[in-house]
A and B are shown apart, each in its own frame.
Chain A
Amino acid sequence: MNTNSNVYTVIYTTIVVVVVAAVLALVSQSLKSRQEANEKADTISQMLTAAGYGAKAEFGKMGNTAVLEKYASEIEEAFTINPSGEKVADLPSGKVFSPKELKALNYIIKDAEKAAEAELPVFIFKNGKTVVPIYGAGLWGPVWGYVSFENGTATFTGAYFDHESETAGLGAKIKDDPEFQARFVGKQADFKAEERSAVFEIVKGGVSGEAGGVDNKIDAITGATMTSKGLDDAIDTWLYAYKAYFNANEAPESCAPQGENCCCSGCEKSCCATCPCEKCCTSEDCTVSCGPECCSEQCGCCGEGCCETKSEEE
């Protein structure tokens, strides 16, 4: 047979391609469940690492079953919220988000029209850490990861990031360098920020020592400017989407320094919970009446000119 004729060549290549495609499809389908199980265990160990249960490498040695058990015993609550900060639904037990699902969610968050319909996952662990995912574009491919906050406040307690194909030794440090991830601990996200880009900052050239404002800056990675920028953008985009949820949890900071009559001088309700002024928040001071806006459940009591409605209710 003439193996150089056009007809033969076309038929031959077609058969080769179809056979190869069939083999690959078959293998891919039959291995899919195993791969997903591995990916899930990996995702869970990333969340556990961010929540401060140990180093990522140790979870890798534990094996999938042990990681799943650890997660099942340590998770307090897992649910989704909408961008207004309200809880939408509980997540099914053991449900985690694969990078693909985060990618899909990332498109929704960034799309101005659909953003309001986003259902964002929140994971609360028994040690009081609130863990949320982030996802974005690095230099060569996607970067994603998990950041954890203390009791739903704006203070970071840990972070773990992963990437698809950042440069080994440079951008890959977001994953491989525990020291970089440790830079987040104790920093804060600025959920009050008007601009999305001001929520958190990974700064090139080092954080300057100037005081004031929210402590929301960390050092970027030397030699990995684009990866650092990408990660910064990912954190900004996602945390901005979560801001209503976190703001609802935290007392407005502007209230704190208002001094003695904090609870009585018309500051917000939520301020009273963390009100530093003993005078207005001890029960002896409750004898005097006060306006309805100040006698919240958290407040318990008020200073001069308050507690009118409270005594009526009782």
Chain B
Amino acid sequence: MNAKIKETLLNPIFKGNPITVLVLGICSSLAVTVTLKGALVMTLSVIVVTGVSSLILSILRNTIPSRVRIIVQLVVVAMMVILVDQVLKSFEATYAIDKQLSVYIGLIITNCIVMGRIEAFALGNKPWPSFLDGVANGAGYGLILIVVAFFRELLGSGTLFGFDILGRFGYVTNNLVILPPFALIFIGCIVWLQRSIQKDLQEK
């Protein structure tokens, strides 16, 4: 693996994380992090959407008329989002989770990470690096989602993946953790942590 590809893959996970550094995709990360399962399904959906739509648009990049660039991007991303939604609805295991995530799967299209990476990366790079960039950004987003969901489900419901963990020790569930404001507080803490490690992000 050459250094550039490695950089493409690893940068969005930590140093250039879409949520904590670029502060994109906050809305959905508040909404879908109540349960780990929901966060995991959302993560996979976003990875597929960002990866594949970056790939498609990177292949098409030299043929797209620049005036309708955004529209073509939207059509491709929307197609991917609908495909993901349709597939989730088709399997017993994911049907309930798709219902629980309801509008948020459809709203992946409005997730700035997707369009942002296509504009900033896929339209100027070859298909393979673009695909990796999309996947890595989806994974960077998902990483934060899963970390937040882990604590929210554990503290809010006393469970992980629906299995009772803290409840058996007599833990009283904290309803504040379930509500969206807590996710914002928690993401704020992660941003704080990251900035104290990565000094170059701090504003002077």
Contact = CB atoms under 8 A, between A and B. Distances in A.
A35 B86 contact: yes
12 contacts: A3-B65, A3-B66, A4-B65, A4-B66, A9-B67, A13-B72, A20-B79, A24-B79, A27-B86, A31-B87, A35-B90, A63-B92
Contacts of B65: 3-4, 8-9, 12-13
Interface in B43-87: 62-68, 71-72, 75-76, 78-79, 82-83, 86-87
Interface in A185-205: none
- Classify the interface of chain B: helix, strand, loop or mixed: helix
B28 to A, nearest CB: 12
B162 to A, nearest CB: 9
Interface residues of A, number: 26
Contacts of B96: 42, 60
Contacts of B103: 165
A211 interface: no
A17 interface: yes
Interface extent on B, as a size class? 20 to 34
B126 interface: no
A165 B86 contact: no
Contacts of B87: 27, 31
A12 B86 contact: no
Interface of B: 31, 62-68, 71-72, 75-76, 78-79, 82-83, 86-87, 89-92, 95-96, 99, 102-103, 178-180
A196 B65 CA distance: 58
A34 B90 contact: yes
B189 to A, nearest CB: 22
Contact of A169 (B66, B71, B92, B179): B179
A8 to B, nearest CB: 6
- Classify the interface of chain A: helix, strand, loop or mixed: helix
Interface in A211-259: none
Leading 10 A-B pairs by shortest Cβ distance: A34-B90, A38-B95, A9-B65, A31-B90, A20-B79, A35-B89, A60-B96, A3-B65, A31-B86, A35-B90
Given A35-B89, A35-B90, A3 B31 contact: no
Contacts of A164: 102
A15 to B, nearest CB: 10
Contact of A4 (B67, B76, B82, B91): B67
B66 A13 contact: no
B142 to A, nearest CB: 20
B67 to A, nearest CB: 6
A7 B34 CA distance: 49
Given A41-B92, A60-B96, 7 more contacts: A3-B64, A12-B63, A20-B78, A31-B86, A38-B89, A169-B178, A169-B180
